[in-house]
A and B are shown apart, each in its own frame.
Chain A
């Protein structure tokens, strides 16, 4: 299955802003009550604020700019306005708090669903995407959404409400003058609609080049020692310069696209004022029932109230578009589905081996098959070794045993049942896998040893040490000079690779699996410690099956059976010596 996001992005049909937005809105379908309340508050608030200019204009036309001036009337209207503004103070508060709350919770839900999706996707997804790229995608893109939801959303909604209200009032008070005032808005709308996909694609391009640049930086900086040892300081500079240049040109592209709106909006909103004034006075002189106060104050204010938010919306629109571009990239991850589903089946073969490969074929992509028609059985309590040259398919075979991937053809059976019928929680309890590259989480050594282990959740440190001693792991503890409370930092440099592998080893053994796979798990451990490890392996419960992948042959001499894995084929090599012969004579095809 293709999980390469850059590939998928290229193939994906371009979605419109609206359909992206609709997908986003599905995340808050449960917030209906809050949304309605917020909308009421927004409605009341905007109405009150918009009635202000109308009352002022009306006051001018009835009390000020008339032959019989009436200051008392002016004051009466002032009192009315004051009362209205007080109410607006409250509704405005409610509006922000309700709408903003919805936004924050939406962001919360969104983050959760991304993370949840990341947890659901199979290992293949992570191997097909550069880690740096993936991290940048998830972090930066959610951050863009965060910025929008936390900072721009309320302004966005408030602006839309004011603008709509002003538009309605413009039309309601005098349809002729109102529609004339709105003509420039129509032009703006058309302009925006025409340019929006252009702006979005420019922004998407820029986001992509930013991702590429971070990946470039990470790769170079993480491997800086090679750069120095091979006199290639210029390599980093050159590669970065290229990424930087590309980022520069896409950023200018997106920058200019984003800033085009503002001057255009400004231009048309100014023309709207001119229209109000010229057409308004023309209407008054041609006997239309409209006062000078309404034209000079109410309509000019409404034009401002309509076009100013519109102008703000221009910059908000750009940040909305950026957020949407980020959302698109996230939605792309959300739309991926795992290809490792649990299937329903009751077929169970009696007296089956612990694990069986039956005519298994496997390929990572369509081009090259890695494993060809493999069949073998693993019995309970025995120790198996997978040997063979590099690139022969050992790790791939192990990954299929642990169901990190599914066979392309054929079946893997666990206790006589298709491995795909097991719930992950059941399967992972049965099968332990010590990976080639040990990984530690930020925390303490102890937390890493007990990571994901449900057996010892509420144990105290002393109890845990007891458990470790009982598991014959005590001899390994001495290697951690700062004790089990030593901190593991995210950089992981405070701990050597060998120590990491020891932690991974202890982590796997304490889970008490039925089948334990060690994928060159001792490659960086010295032979004395390794001896300790193999003693521990020996002392594992008799019913535990061990699968050891190794180059170093001493680790496998105690194996009950040896499989020789080469060029995608698994051959049973009866004895240790037989395996040796194969190994030494075997042609490398890697």
Chain B
């Protein structure tokens, strides 16, 4: 570790992070060195004072307090000013590094594909953005300055001691390797334990997280005790690790104190001898004691800081992995308005070894209505994700208006394809912002979307109307209301193609029918692809695709499928009674 900022290693280590802030870092270290060098001078002032006083006792010269008081006070004020400036710059620099790093990370993340986020997992990215950045912040705010100052003090104090009396100085300096060595040895052991205990804490946190996310279930089953037992197990383990680390430290601290005490003892024995035989002044003797107490702390600081650096380096590596991820490349250039013809040719998606979709081919005419029906885990949602470009296919082709989906510029493409996701995704902001989520939405299209999704009455009944803040987990919205807000969000962009993923699951039939009629009326020419479980609501669609285990089992109109596909008939029969009823009531 070299203490000069301009000597830092060139490979992208953690120090490379500081490059843009080299001015600040330079100031930081400069101020730290200023205050520390003056600090080293203080015992000297006192020791000279003592010697002057002793000389005055023997009558060599007159003793005057004033120069000492003035020198000392000036020095102390100097230290105060520079250390205060240093601490402000320190905070400012570290927070800026942290803020900029977070911005860089979020920029990077925001340019990634949805698949990337799912793969890395949001919680890992959260750690990158919070805990990892914090440990780098700690490195900048503490490790950097502390190490430079500590090395400076150790070297400076040692040199001063050597100049005063080299024999005695060697005795005192001898404790540095002893303390340092023991310290690093213990620290190495502790680091391993720390790592293990970190894992236990992660486990502990997972139990806590699950007990929060699954709170309702736990109360329904009354499994609080079970959760508590799980937690107790993890917590006991964490405590045991804490105690093992403690035992190491308990051994370390006495050794350090003892070594320091031995140095004090040798100062008394040897130094006393030197003072008695007159080869050393009493002032220097006192200075030795002062320097000894200045010397020990920096050794420990370096040890602790090496820990912080190790942690920060690990964090930086994790962050770098994210920062070095390639951006999703924008290859598409087409910005044409879609007619809405869609064609899939031999499309397959494979996750690891598991095929999610196998050789899917079908065509959809612009303005037609298509239903995709099939059992759980048949690949229906994947199909929709594929059509929005959220998932990349393994092989085959997806064509919109005869052109490959990848040829379209993604922004233009997304602004023409509306997607209503299966799970309710509501952002913690006003209903207006939730619906007009895309920034191309005009007031007019917002109104149209609200009317179409049958949200007018609901919104009018709210105290703040469209400005009402809604939230992710709050009990303020029912499942159906969330679903309709999501529909309005997709419609508000005036899409040419609308994809519905199990929209009917949480919306009651009468509302659903009204909504679909509204869509017909307000968005003529729209191509609709609806993944659903209910045959009744899609019987009159232009084409129904039956998907099972990633394969198309049958396609055709309802009447055709009733004649040709036994699987379809089976599903139809399981829903029969309801369908009958709904047909009659139309």
CA distance A235 to B247 in the complex (A): 50
Does B118 interact with chain A (Cβ within 8 Å)? yes
Chain B, residue nearest A531 (CB) = B574
**Contact among A135, A143, A230, A432 with B437 in the assembled complex (CB-CB below 8 Å):** A230
Q: Which residues of B contact A222 (CB under 8 A)?
A: 122
Does A374 interact with chain B (Cβ within 8 Å)? no
**Contact among B113, B206, B375, B388 with A528 in the assembled complex (CB-CB below 8 Å):** B375
Contact of B481 with A97 in the complex, beta carbons under 8 Å: no
Grouping DSSP codes into helix (H, G, I), strand (E, B) and loop, the A interface class, with mixed when no group exceeds half, is helix
Contacting residues of chain A (59-87) with chain B, CB-CB under 8 angstroms: 59-60, 63-65, 69, 71, 74-75, 77-78, 81-82, 85
Pairs A-B, 7 closest by C-beta atoms: A390-B480, A498-B376, A452-B223, A255-B91, A526-B375, A221-B122, A428-B222
Chain A positions 144 through 156: 1 when the CB is less than 8 Å from some CB of chain B, otherwise 0:
0010011000100
**Contact among A92, A115, A524 with B231 in the assembled complex (CB-CB below 8 Å):** A115
* 24 CB < 8 A contacts A-B: A64-B282, A71-B273, A81-B261, A92-B258, A97-B247, A101-B246, A108-B236, A112-B235, A119-B227, A130-B428, A135-B205, A146-B242, A215-B428, A217-B125, A229-B417, A230-B489, A274-B73, A277-B49, A281-B49, A395-B478, A435-B220, A452-B223, A520-B479, A528-B375
Q: How far is the CB of A444 from chain B (nearest CB, A)?
A: 15
CA distance A228 to B385 in the complex (A): 11
Contact of B130 with A92 in the complex, beta carbons under 8 Å: no
Does B534 interact with chain A (Cβ within 8 Å)? yes
Q: How far is the CB of B181 from chain A (nearest CB, A)?
A: 17
Contact of B91 with A101 in the complex, beta carbons under 8 Å: no
Contact of A274 with B212 in the complex, beta carbons under 8 Å: no
Q: How far is the CB of B331 from chain A (nearest CB, A)?
A: 16
**Contact among B95, B204, B273, B427 with A223 in the assembled complex (CB-CB below 8 Å):** B427
Does A586 interact with chain B (Cβ within 8 Å)? yes
Contacting residues of chain B (393-438) with chain A, CB-CB under 8 angstroms: 410-411, 414-415, 417, 419, 421-423, 425, 427-428, 437-438
Contact of A554 with B575 in the complex, beta carbons under 8 Å: yes
Does A193 interact with chain B (Cβ within 8 Å)? no
Given A224-B117, A232-B438, A234-B110; 15 other pairs, CB 8 A cutoff: A74-B276, A78-B269, A81-B265, A92-B253, A105-B239, A126-B212, A221-B126, A224-B122, A231-B411, A241-B103, A260-B84, A270-B42, A297-B286, A402-B220, A452-B221
Known interface pairs A59-B268, A252-B92, A304-B290; A127-B473 also in contact (CB < 8 Å): yes
CA distance A391 to B117 in the complex (A): 33
Does A552 interact with chain B (Cβ within 8 Å)? yes
Contact of B481 with A390 in the complex, beta carbons under 8 Å: yes
Q: How far is the CB of B498 from chain A (nearest CB, A)?
A: 12
CA distance A301 to B437 in the complex (A): 67
Does B7 interact with chain A (Cβ within 8 Å)? no
Does A44 interact with chain B (Cβ within 8 Å)? no
Does B170 interact with chain A (Cβ within 8 Å)? no
**Contact among A56, A441, A524 with B264 in the assembled complex (CB-CB below 8 Å):** A56
Chain A, residue nearest B210 (CB) = A441
CA distance A206 to B73 in the complex (A): 37
Does A546 interact with chain B (Cβ within 8 Å)? no
Does A96 interact with chain B (Cβ within 8 Å)? yes
Q: Which residues of A contact B68 (CB under 8 A)?
A: 277-278
Contact of A442 with B275 in the complex, beta carbons under 8 Å: no
**Contact among B76, B218, B282, B478 with A391 in the assembled complex (CB-CB below 8 Å):** B478
Chain A, residue nearest B585 (CB) = A584
Known interface pairs A100-B250, A520-B506; A112-B106 also in contact (CB < 8 Å): no
Q: Which residues of B contact A146 (CB under 8 A)?
A: 201, 242
Chain B, residue nearest A93 (CB) = B254
Q: Which residues of A contact B262 (CB under 8 A)?
A: 85
Q: Which residues of A contact B272 (CB under 8 A)?
A: 59-60, 63-64, 71, 74
Chain A, residue nearest B584 (CB) = A580
Does A483 interact with chain B (Cβ within 8 Å)? no
**Contact among B98, B251, B575 with A93 in the assembled complex (CB-CB below 8 Å):** B251
Does A471 interact with chain B (Cβ within 8 Å)? no
Q: Which residues of A contact B417 (CB under 8 A)?
A: 229
Contact of A266 with B578 in the complex, beta carbons under 8 Å: no
Chain A positions 48 through 66: 1 when the CB is less than 8 Å from some CB of chain B, otherwise 0:
0100110010011001110
**Contact among B106, B247, B390, B471 with A241 in the assembled complex (CB-CB below 8 Å):** B106
Does A575 interact with chain B (Cβ within 8 Å)? no
Chain A positions 94 through 135: 1 when the CB is less than 8 Å from some CB of chain B, otherwise 0:
001100110011011001100110111011011110110011
Chain A, residue nearest B129 (CB) = A217
Does B27 interact with chain A (Cβ within 8 Å)? no
Q: Which residues of B contact A427 (CB under 8 A)?
A: 222
Contact of A139 with B208 in the complex, beta carbons under 8 Å: yes
For B213, B258, B511, B576, the residue with the greatest tally of chain A CB atoms inside 10 Å of its CB is B213
Contact of B219 with A213 in the complex, beta carbons under 8 Å: no
**Contact among A225, A293, A530 with B114 in the assembled complex (CB-CB below 8 Å):** A225
Chain B, residue nearest A98 (CB) = B250
**Contact among A235, A391, A554 with B481 in the assembled complex (CB-CB below 8 Å):** A391
Chain A, residue nearest B271 (CB) = A64
**Contact among B206, B275, B428 with A490 in the assembled complex (CB-CB below 8 Å):** B206
Contact of A296 with B493 in the complex, beta carbons under 8 Å: no
CA distance A266 to B471 in the complex (A): 49
Which of B18-26, B312-320, B359-367, B454-462 is found at the contact surface with chain A? B454-462
Q: How far is the CB of B488 from chain A (nearest CB, A)?
A: 12
Does A176 interact with chain B (Cβ within 8 Å)? no
**Contact among B415, B422, B478 with A231 in the assembled complex (CB-CB below 8 Å):** B415
**Contact among A75, A293, A432, A590 with B220 in the assembled complex (CB-CB below 8 Å):** A432
Chain A, residue nearest B209 (CB) = A135
Contact of B390 with A154 in the complex, beta carbons under 8 Å: no
Q: How far is the CB of A449 from chain B (nearest CB, A)?
A: 12
Q: Which residues of A contact B561 (CB under 8 A)?
A: none
Does A408 interact with chain B (Cβ within 8 Å)? no
Does B186 interact with chain A (Cβ within 8 Å)? no
Does A469 interact with chain B (Cβ within 8 Å)? no
Does B102 interact with chain A (Cβ within 8 Å)? yes
Q: Which residues of A contact B111 (CB under 8 A)?
A: 233
Chain A positions 271 through 310: 1 when the CB is less than 8 Å from some CB of chain B, otherwise 0:
1011001100110000000001100110011001100100
Contact of B232 with A112 in the complex, beta carbons under 8 Å: yes
Chain B, residue nearest A492 (CB) = B213
**Contact among B211, B419, B533, B570 with A229 in the assembled complex (CB-CB below 8 Å):** B419
Contact of B411 with A154 in the complex, beta carbons under 8 Å: no
Contact of B106 with A527 in the complex, beta carbons under 8 Å: no
Contact of B461 with A589 in the complex, beta carbons under 8 Å: yes
CA distance A308 to B217 in the complex (A): 54
CA distance A107 to B76 in the complex (A): 41
Q: How far is the CB of B479 from chain A (nearest CB, A)?
A: 6
Chain A, residue nearest B275 (CB) = A64
Does B69 interact with chain A (Cβ within 8 Å)? yes
Contact of A590 with B422 in the complex, beta carbons under 8 Å: no
Does B46 interact with chain A (Cβ within 8 Å)? yes
Chain A, residue nearest B65 (CB) = A278
Chain B positions 245 through 260: 1 when the CB is less than 8 Å from some CB of chain A, otherwise 0:
1110111011101100
CA distance A277 to B71 in the complex (A): 13
Does A167 interact with chain B (Cβ within 8 Å)? no
Q: How far is the CB of B149 from chain A (nearest CB, A)?
A: 12
Does B505 interact with chain A (Cβ within 8 Å)? yes
Q: How far is the CB of B267 from chain A (nearest CB, A)?
A: 8
Contact of A237 with B110 in the complex, beta carbons under 8 Å: yes
CA distance A223 to B242 in the complex (A): 37
Known interface pairs A69-B276, A92-B253; A60-B130 also in contact (CB < 8 Å): no
Q: How far is the CB of A291 from chain B (nearest CB, A)?
A: 11
Q: Which residues of A contact B171 (CB under 8 A)?
A: none
Q: How far is the CB of B385 from chain A (nearest CB, A)?
A: 8
Contact of A97 with B222 in the complex, beta carbons under 8 Å: no
CA distance A551 to B88 in the complex (A): 62
CA distance A78 to B98 in the complex (A): 52
Does A491 interact with chain B (Cβ within 8 Å)? yes
